[in-house]
Structure 1
Amino acid sequence: MRIAFLFATWLLSFGALAAPGEVATLDRSTWPEQLDSPTLFDVASRAEILMFARVLLASESLDEPSLAQRLGLRTINLEAVNNLRQRLWQRLLSNYSFAQRSCDQDASFCFLVEDMDTLRQQAAKFQLSDDSYYIKWAEPSRLFHARYLDEQLRKAALFPQSSSEVDRFGDHERNGATMNDRLFLLTFDSAANATPDNTAWVAEYLRKAKMSGTFFVLGKDIQARLNERSVASLQATYSMQCIGVQGWEFRSHSHWLDWQDSVRRSVERVKGKLPENYMPLFRPPDGQRRGDAESFFRAQGLQVALWDIDAQDGAGKLQPDQSAQRVLTLMLLWRHGVINFNIKQDGVKTAMPWLITQTAQSGIGWEDCQDGFR
């Protein structure tokens, strides 16, 4: 009865959280341990998985009108929402199975989870005592995951009328879901603004760290650089890195009449001038693309390259430290995936190095850009 009462009380608080659209971030200093070993990465991963599972389970108690109100929408695509929930549960179960392999080395947050039923049971009763070593983390983490879940549910509720990275339209689209455990790929989006452009700085940082990333570029930006400098200079900037395209301009490719020409022109420019770096990948700006475009992309030999870990580092959204801590929390939750940074925000020069430093001893790996979407 006490557990049921506490859970019911918590459900009420769940419905009174932040307004729709508030971006989730978590102060990682609330977590009392450094991620300086694979085992401690797993401990933190188990904790984030259980907390998100708890929030996800709670959201299922909301009926359709209540969920729509919570997400700030008049109507929702409930089928898409339920499909997302199912995928989230499957990934949580898989991730927890990986994360509990080190339970013989550190039993923190280790519970009997053998299947989906036992995962849901553990999520329903997951809570920390007031004297827990991790108590300062508990409430901030719950708020983070509730807000993050809202972000995902809202995108699903609007899909496919408003397309995003929350779901795929077919096998020609890739995200980080099938990557191996503990492997992450760094990707960098362009944006509508011309400056600042931190490509040269980020590419050089990655080369010095013996790492690589995939830079999704705009055709017009590449043309502007070619107007100012030589092809050799541009090739030197992207040396040892990969390049995909985002179209000629940073604008929605779901309603733009010239979207096909935008993709073709960009591919022609990048493939012609930077053939050693070019990857046959299209990253839709803001994830917006048409659901009936599979035949076009296949004819062009392109894959649509989505992501599943978003830094939310666009202008005015999060500060660099908040963005970095958001990404790290999602790395612990999803345990593998494609990370999306904005190359035209100066915060990337702070957030990305911090992230790499924080995970240097955690047992994760950074996927080579040549293999990331295969």
Structure 2
Amino acid sequence: MRIVLLFSAWLLSFGALAAPGDVATLDRSTWPEQLTSPTLFDVASRAEILMFARVLLASESLDETSLAQRLGLRTINLDSVNNLRQRMWQRLLTNYNFAQQSCDQDASFCFLVEDLPTLREQAAKFVVSDDSFYIKWSEPSRLFHAQYLDEQLRKAALFPQTSSEVDRFGDYERNGDEMHDRLFLLTFDSAANAIPDNTAWVTEYLRKSNINGTFFVLGKDIQARLAERSVASLQATYSQQCIGVQGWEFRSHSHWQDWQDSVKRSAELVKNKLPENYVPLFRPPDGQRRSDAQGFFESQGLQVALWDIDPQDGAGKLKGSQSAQRVLTLMLLWRHGVINFNVKQDALKTSMPWLITQTAQSGIGWEDCQEAFR
């Protein structure tokens, strides 16, 4: 039985990493096993949870000035940062409890974790020995999680002055927190660029795979497509899929004077032309929206649909293979959630098939888009 050795005295150094703005990715080939069973998914999940927990714990040793410097910011909202850390710890504990249910089948990365103090204790002394089956994964994973944590802490440090998906403004906003273990929702954002638009390719691929997703569209894009083709043709493209809205155009809805009209116009257009696909969800571009918008969204019968697994495939940040491997690592870490691919990036044609194939035998499920956020 492959057991990872522990060294109680090794405190992970929060060493030099990439500069703020760089995107975390992990080469999954460093992990020595394919996810060919639910048990092997759990083994990999336990490993990623423990590694992230160790990095999260180490970050708490930084004072406010040091953390701000690390994140490349002059000032930070420390309350928001600490709130994020607290939510992360609770989710890590819940996830580890799920992941250790298969420890009787494979005891790798199985340690006594009964509550948050014992999780923090195990995180503090977690290390992979040099002769471990998993040693090639260890350092790349540590670097990934340290960089990924920086991404999240930076968003929290700027919240709510700069809004993002890192936190919610109320119960009318939804993300993947409440989803069941091993369940994931595929969502697809639009972007400011008109091309490439991979919607037709993606929807056909999903149908062939017996999966569906939620497409967040721009009102002006739907209007332009209807000028070129029939409603029936557009309905055929989105057959069996769900459609939410991202506003009339791709721009921040936090300081735009006409943001309400943007939401209403796009929702009315989709509801009228694609009623079978329409779901009452608004996805704010780049996660930017107003903090005082609850009354408006409730009056429109809309929920704000956020996400918690970001492929970072927008604006060509990551190649398709890098994006897919990032998503898989975050799926192992968070064990459920909402993924937000960018439908206007060609990287999607590589990343999504790879992800679907890699997880086909892992015991995870894809949430039905009609059931999500209910």
Q: TM-score of the superposition, structure 1-length normalised?
A: 0.98
Match of 2:301 in 1: 301
Instruction: Decide which of 10, 19, 36 is 1:6's aligned counterpart.
Output: 10
1:234 aligns with 2:207: no
For 2:170, give the aligned amino acid: G
Task: Output the CA distance in 2 between the equivalents of 1:85 and 1:131.
Answer: 32
Report 1:28-177 matches (<5 A).
28-177=28-177
Secondary structure of the equivalent of 2:316? coil
Matched residue of 2:315: which SS?
Answer: coil
Instruction: Describe the SS at the equivalent of 1:6.
Output: coil
CA distance in structure 1 between the partners assigned to 2:193 and 2:316 by the alignment: 14
Runs of 4+ in 1 over 2 A off after TM superposition: 2-6
1 CA distance for matches of 2:10 and 2:215? 47
Q: Is the Cα–Cα contact under 8 Å of residues 316 and 345 in structure 2 kept in the other structure?
A: no
**Contact 2:246–2:282 (CA under 8 A) maintained in structure 1:** yes
SS at match of 2:10: helix
Quote the Cα distance in structure 2 between the aligned partners of 1:330 and 1:273: 36
1:289 and 1:223, CA in 2 relative to 1: closer, same or farther beyond 3 A? same
Which residue in the other structure is 2:343 paired with? 343
Q: Answer yes or no: is the 8 Å Cα contact 2:248–2:262 preserved in 1.
A: yes
Cα separation, 2, equivalents of 1:209 and 1:3: 45
- How far apart are the structure 2 equivalents of 1:3 and 1:112? 15
The equivalent of 1:198 in structure 2 is: 198
Structure 1: state its 5+ residue gaps. Answer: none
Name the Cα RMSD after superposition. Answer: 1.0
**Deviation of 1:5 (Å):** 5.5
Count of residue correspondences: 369
Write the distance in 2 (CA, Å) between the matches of 1:332 and 1:211.
20
Q: Which runs of 5+ in 2 are unaligned?
A: 1-5
Cα separation, 2, equivalents of 1:214 and 1:4 = 46
Please report how far the alpha carbon of residue 147 of structure 1 lies from its aligned counterpart in structure 2 after TM superposition.
0.4
In the alignment, structure 1 residue 186 sits paired with structure 2 residue 190:
no
The amino acid across from 2:240 in the alignment is: M
In the alignment, the residues of structure 1 paired with residue 17 and residue 209 of structure 2 have an alpha-carbon distance, to the nearest angstrom, of 41
| 1:190–1:342 Cα contact (<8 Å) kept | yes
CA distance in 2, matches of 1:34, 1:146: 24
Name the structure 2 match of 1:353. 353
Once the two structures are superposed, what CA deviation does each residue of 1:80-112 show, in whole Å capped at 9, x if it has no partner?
000000000000000000000000000000000
Post-superposition offset of 1:16: 1.7
Q: Which position in structure 2 is the counterpart of 1:252?
A: 252
Cα distance in 2, alignment partners of residues 199 and 117 from structure 1 = 46
Alpha-carbon distance in 2 for matches of 1:278, 1:327 = 26
1:226-249 deviations in Å (ceiling 9; x for gaps): 000000000000000000000000
Give 1:316 shift.
2.9
Taking the TM superposition and a 5 Å limit, the aligned residue runs for 1:323-334 are 323-334=323-334
Q: C-alpha distance in 2, partners of 1:303/1:90?
A: 25
**What are the superposed Cα offsets for residues 4-43 of structure 1, whole Å, 9 maximum, x if unpaired?**
7631xx32xx142221111000000000000000000000
Q: Tell whether the 8 Å contact from 1:184 to 1:336 is kept in structure 2 after alignment.
A: yes
Structure 2 match to 1:371? 371
Task: Please say if residues 15 and 70 of structure 1, whose CA atoms lie closer than 8 Å, have aligned partners that are also in contact.
Answer: no
Larger deviation, residues 292-301 vs 313-322: 313-322
Q: Is the 8 A contact 1:23 1:312 kept in 2?
A: yes
- Alignment deviations for residues 330-365 of structure 1 (CA, whole Å, 9 cap, x no partner): 000000000010000011111001000000000000
Mapped partners of 1:161, 1:206: distance in 2: 37
Deviation at 1:314, TM superposition (A): 1.0
- Asked whether the 8 Å contact 2:10–2:125 carries over to 1, the reply is no
